[in-house]
A and B are shown apart, each in its own frame.
Chain A
Amino acid sequence: MNPVLSLRGISKSFPGVKALSEVQLDLYAGQVTALIGENGAGKSTIVKVLTGVYQPDAGNITIDGAEVHFPTAQAASKAGVTAIHQETVLFDELTVAENIWLGHAPRTRFGLIDRRAMRDGALRLLEGIGATLNPDLRLRDLGIASKHLVAIARALSIDARVVIMDEPTAALSYKEIHELYELVEKLKAQGKAILFISHKFDEIFRIADRYTVFRDGQFVGQGDMGDVSENDLVQMMVGRSVDQIFPARHRNIGAPVLTVAGYSHPTEFADIGFTLHRGEILGFYGLVGAGRSEVMQSLFGITKPSKGATRIDDQVRVIRSTSEAIAAGIVYVPEDRGKQGAVKGLPIFQNVTLPSLSRTSRAGFLRLAEEFKLARDYTGRLDLRAASLDQDVGLLSGGNQQKVVIAKWLATQPRVIILDEPTKGIDIGSKAAVHEFMAELAAQGLAVIMVSSEIPEILGMSDRVIVMREGRIVDEVAGDRMTPETLVRAAAGLAVAA
């Protein structure tokens, strides 16, 4: 059988990064090909090359043996390639229907956009993926999961032979994920060639027929799913076998540091209460959208709670701003690194000292030598990889940016560190480093809160786990009860198993 679409020798560089280096990829009709690789392996980049968003530096794309070029996204969709991108690339001010049809809207006889056809088409597509959404709603009024469904409908609105899905399940709930699986089966039955990108092995083994592995922008191998084991794939991804991922913890839990009681917000969360101790890692689990980030950001002074109190070392503290939180010793490593974490455009050392300026300056006047010293100390401890400390943070890879953000907080010498999805978007190597570092911090007596949606990570790292659902704490799990089943049932609102 000949591939519908195949890529040969594709290279793509960005300033400072070689994202793809002579990679190849084949997609077959009626088959799902999984593309696997660590974060930053170049998966999304190949998607963008395939959809005309990026132009490759070298290499060629052939469809049915004929070479094609995609100078724009429109050219790619005309050639029958459509994609659900990793990021939701939609328009808040336009309606659902307009978002689905933008760029290829049905026309009336006069060449004007046919709004009725657009609306009907949108309804049909949404129905097809099991979504009940009003096509006239403006996108800004939708939640993140609904937006993702719109993105899927948009991809399907193009009558394509090749369908690409870049981590399509990341933002979806359990039920929606299953509907997506059904959809993939349907598309497969229609003979479409599907490229499926995911980090979740269970998912890959469930729906993929073939696999292709990338590592550091290079093609590593491909083959039939039936011929490989999970461990084989991991080995191909990282170039070595990974057996013991989580560090052994030396548990040494001390006195309570942070006590939260009756913490509430008008719309986001209600009645949050817990105690955090010295040397403890407290996990927060929940489905995406359960409101964990919101609680943490509120503890960090970003949003104001409507009710409730926090005590630090038995002292009631009202935290109204991030600077007050930092002064109280609470720091927060945000989930959205690019937007909330790193200040791209500023050099590494200035990022590190940003919250510590009062210590590195005298009477408001900066002392550069002190700044460099502080930055050197903490980035060194985290084993940062960078050319120099006055390099722009924006030029670093995601994992190294995360290290800068963590260094920034450690430099303030906090008592409580909140890590929100600390390993999201980080490759397995860096992930282990972050885990080890967390364990070390706890051992030094810091109190750590870790928000994570990854069950292995939560179970592997936490001393105790709090489960949230729809803005409320639904369970607290410790000791023997710390099993995947307990967490999943609690997070999904199912009856607690005995």
Chain B
Amino acid sequence: KGAEEAAAELGDVEIIYTGPTSTTAEGQIEVINALIAQGVNAIAISANDPDAVAPALQRAMDRGITVISWDSGVAKEGRQLHLNPSSSALIGNTIIKLAADHIDGTGDVAILSATSTSTNQNIWIEEAKKVLPNYPNVNLVATVYGDDLADKSYREAQGLMATYPNLKAIIAPTTVGILAASQAVTDAGKIGEINVTGLGLPSEMAGAVESGATISFAIWNPIDLGYAATMLSYNLIKGAEAAPGASIPMGRIGAATLDENNEAAMSDPFTYDKSNIEAFKSIF
């Protein structure tokens, strides 16, 4: 949606939105090859696997195509720049803070992630662990993976509750995970005992917030993300240089400043709870 908004604003841009048969790296490579063959000007990708798609993207760049990654990143050699939805550190900090706030800073928490291969998740978890010492009484007991499958995430959440009777919060930095975990907590009748938090879309989380399984959660604006990725690609095609320290404009959002890894962050995550979810759930 955001990409279309950007395209409309720019006028001379056509967006091809496509995806592979299955959520595998091999499938994504097939799509990349098809895009290269069509001679597109730019590819903006959210990678299923940061390393596996890199060689294919390198070939795209060899053929003069602008390549950026967004959301879930690609290894450095496989793209010109990477747009994080938000500063990883900030996300890491936010998810821990959201968990800690509602348990008065004391108790066991566990992380329910997506697949073990998703770069973004892993970075956020890293960052979250870094800030843990700031919460001396918060005890991170486990990190499990639900593979972004509803049933597996649900079962993993159940497993967490069974294994750690004193669990106070589950952090799921993924939409599928946070939904499944809220459901598991609701079904186990532990609303109020265990708080589920993490990253999710307001439209999907409305129910969980209402039931109280989730008190608050965070997310950036995904529409802005698509918009920004399109803007960045456009500007790179038009001659902007992706180099450490460079600043590339992103239309109405401002400009992205690249760090030493050619990564940039879009905006801060925004926290949703009972007070504002109604307003946002119809937007994204």
A–B interface present (Cβ within 8 A) = no
Binding site for A on B (CB under 8 A): none
